[in-house]
Amino acid sequence: MQVLIGTSKGLMVYEILSDSAPKELAIHFLGFSVNMIFVDERTHRWWVGIAHRHWGQKFHYSDDQGASWEEAKLPSYQGFKMINGAPAKLMEIWSMQQGGADNERLWLGTEPGGLFSSTDGGVSFELNEPLWYHSSRQKEGKWFGAGSDFPFIHSIEVNPYNSSHLYVAISCAGIFESLDKGASWQPKNKGLLAAYLPNPKVEVGQDPHQLLMHPLDPNVLWQQNHCGIYFTKNGGNLWSEVFLKKGRSSYGFSLAVDENNPARSWVIPVESDQRRVAPDLKLEVFETSNFGQSWKSVSEGLPTTHTFDIVLRKSFKRKGNLMIFGTTNGNLFYTLDETPYWQLISSHLTKVNAVVVT
Amino acid sequence: MVKVKFTSALKQFFPDLSAQELEGASIKEVIMSIESIYPGMQDYLLEEDGSLRRHVNIFVRGEMMVDRHRLSDTLTDGDEVLIFQALSGG
């Protein structure tokens, strides 16, 4: 398997095989912050977002696994305004997703909160107006940024059996569902709690950190939220909170699910919102096989002391029997074992923004 | 005509980049001229709303340009325009 690692100073490509040590294949965009990676499994095209400090967000693709790159046309907010009347402008590309059976369709999630779609394979993108003009955001402060100036769409999940059905996760607004390919959107945040707001049960204003749909059962969604870990078995009609254990933080960013078992997932918690370090300075991965009724630490091989690393929302992936994550301090771990024994690939990368297994 | 010089940092995106003698009575006009020679350069220098990117600096006659939003600073024949990246940490 090939693994793409987007770091704050370049894109790393590794090969991971079961019978040999991981091998570094290439480095692309050396020195630049790779903030988004997407591999379209329909076309095998690699898409990469680069967040230049000086030159703004850029967007590249490769049809030959990185041997050559083309710069893509950026989505444009021209003609659209923020709620305060200021012209909207692209700040960052956060997420990308393919449209399933809808062959040429691609979705792009951005800051300041716009969802774009392409119906020509990414040659051009158009802002999804039903979400941009959604009634829930027509008053300033209803959608808002989290660690950013503006809200951003970081997760896009498309039903593999029905490409008209999709969810987006917005920090901060919450989860929105469309059943008609983006023509209309409904908030799906019942059961979530926004502990940072006067009314924690607001319909819109929640802060999902990562959303994943189960590929076999699209009614099962998992989310690592600012305020805990949640799942739903009914497509988001009602979310249930689960707890790692009493006294243990459920704060975090990253989440992975078992492709074959909707009840099984993994999280990598962070000590707290105020202290963004590994809990007790010990890097741990927790696994549940029963929708969060119980969790066990599956952390053999990970550092147990003085670990300041955390794992960001796009930096933990599971595919087949491979699990891999990269940390904010540039440590990259993987396991191919059913009972994980984590092995270090590199301890001297820089901040890992995104991991993709292809 | 004004003489436009670029930071070498832009050469990695525009390998043929070189100093240019261009027509333009304002910074905005000069950037339009630059775009016609180096398509795509405008997106590197300007935000979507047409304002100068926060971490890009343009100097005219040795002074930092003033109107970063509308790019209306006027130019006269013989002026030198320098397009730099701002300093940054990290």
pLDDT for A141 equals 85
Average pLDDT score over residue span A213-242: 97
Nearest chain B residue to A52, by CA: B44
* Residue range A60-82, pLDDT digits in tens: 999 999 999 999 999 999 999 99
**Backbone torsions φ then ψ of A35, nearest 5 degrees:** -105, -5
Q: Are strands A240-242 and A252-258 parallel, antiparallel or unpaired?
A: unpaired
Whether A89 and B13 lie within 8 Å, measured CB to CB: no
Check the CA dihedral A206-A210-A215-A216 and report its sign. negative
Distance separating alpha carbons of residues B68 and B57, to the nearest angstrom? 9
* Residue range A316-331, pLDDT digits in tens: 999 999 999 999 999 9
Average pLDDT score over residue span A26-31: 97
| Any A CB within 8 A of B11 CB | no
pTM: 0.94
User: What is the end-to-end Cα distance of chain A in Å, rounded?
Assistant: 6
Residue A123 has pLDDT above 70, yes or no: yes
Half-sphere exposure of A293 (CA within 13 A, CB side): 4
* Residue range A100-115, pLDDT digits in tens: 888 899 999 999 999 9
| pLDDT level of residue A249 (50, 70, 90 thresholds) | confident
B interface test, pick of A50, A52, A55, A350 with most B CB neighbours within 10 Å: A55
SS3 call for A113: coil
**Backbone torsions φ then ψ of B45, nearest 5 degrees:** -95, -35
B interface test, pick of A50, A54, A73, A80 with most B CB neighbours within 10 Å: A54
pLDDT for A147 equals 86
Nearest chain A residue to B7, by CA: A54
Nearest chain B residue to A76, by CA: B48
In this complex, the residue of A54, A74, A78 whose CB is nearest that of residue B85 is: A54
Q: Are strands B2-6 and B80-85 parallel, antiparallel or unpaired?
A: parallel
Strands (E), A65-114: 70-71, 92-98, 106-111
| Any B CB within 8 A of A74 CB | yes
Whether A74 and B43 lie within 8 Å, measured CB to CB: yes
* Residue range A33-46, pLDDT digits in tens: 999 999 999 999 99
Closest of A133, A85, A74, A136 to residue A108, by C-alpha: A74
| Any A CB within 8 A of B63 CB | no
pLDDT for B90 equals 59
Residue A303 has pLDDT above 90, yes or no: yes
Query: Are A109 and A152 contacting, i.e. CB atoms less than 8 angstroms apart?
Result: yes
Check the CA dihedral A211-A281-A345-A94 and report its sign. positive
If you count them, how many residues does chain A have? 358
* Residue range A175-203, pLDDT digits in tens: 999 999 999 999 999 999 999 999 999 99
- The size of the A-B interface in CB pairs under 8 A is 35
DSSP state of B78: T
Nearest chain A residue to B13, by CA: A71
Give the rounded percent of residues in chain A with a pLDDT score beyond 90: 93
Distance separating alpha carbons of residues A267 and A232, to the nearest angstrom? 16
The C-alpha of A58 sits at a distance from chain B's nearest C-alpha, in angstroms, of: 9
pLDDT for B87 equals 80
Residue A170 has pLDDT above 90, yes or no: yes
* Residue range B30-84, pLDDT digits in tens: 999 999 999 999 999 999 999 999 999 999 999 999 999 999 999 999 999 999 9
Structural domains in chain A plus CATH codes: 73-242 (2.130.10.10)
* Residue range A78-108, pLDDT digits in tens: 999 999 999 999 999 999 999 988 889 999 9
Which chain A positions have a beta carbon within 8 Å of B14's beta carbon?
none
Residue A139 has pLDDT above 90, yes or no: no
Sort A249 into a burial class: Cβ within 10 Å, 0-12 / 13-18 / 19+. middle
Whether A71 and B40 lie within 8 Å, measured CB to CB: yes
The C-alpha of A82 sits at a distance from chain B's nearest C-alpha, in angstroms, of: 12
| pLDDT level of residue B89 (50, 70, 90 thresholds) | low
Conformation bin of residue A16: beta by default, left when phi > 0, alpha when psi is -120 to 50: beta
pLDDT for A103 equals 80
A318 or A249, greater pLDDT: A318
**Backbone torsions φ then ψ of A97, nearest 5 degrees:** -150, 150
In this complex, the residue of B44, B49, B90 whose CB is nearest that of residue A55 is: B44
Query: Are A196 and A226 contacting, i.e. CB atoms less than 8 angstroms apart?
Result: yes
Which chain A positions have a beta carbon within 8 Å of B44's beta carbon?
52, 55-56
Distance separating alpha carbons of residues A231 and A292, to the nearest angstrom? 9
Whether B53 and A55 lie within 8 Å, measured CB to CB: yes
Residues 12-51 of B with CB under 8 A from A: 13, 40, 43-45, 47-49
| pLDDT level of residue A135 (50, 70, 90 thresholds) | very high
Whether A54 and B48 lie within 8 Å, measured CB to CB: no
Whether B85 and A74 lie within 8 Å, measured CB to CB: no
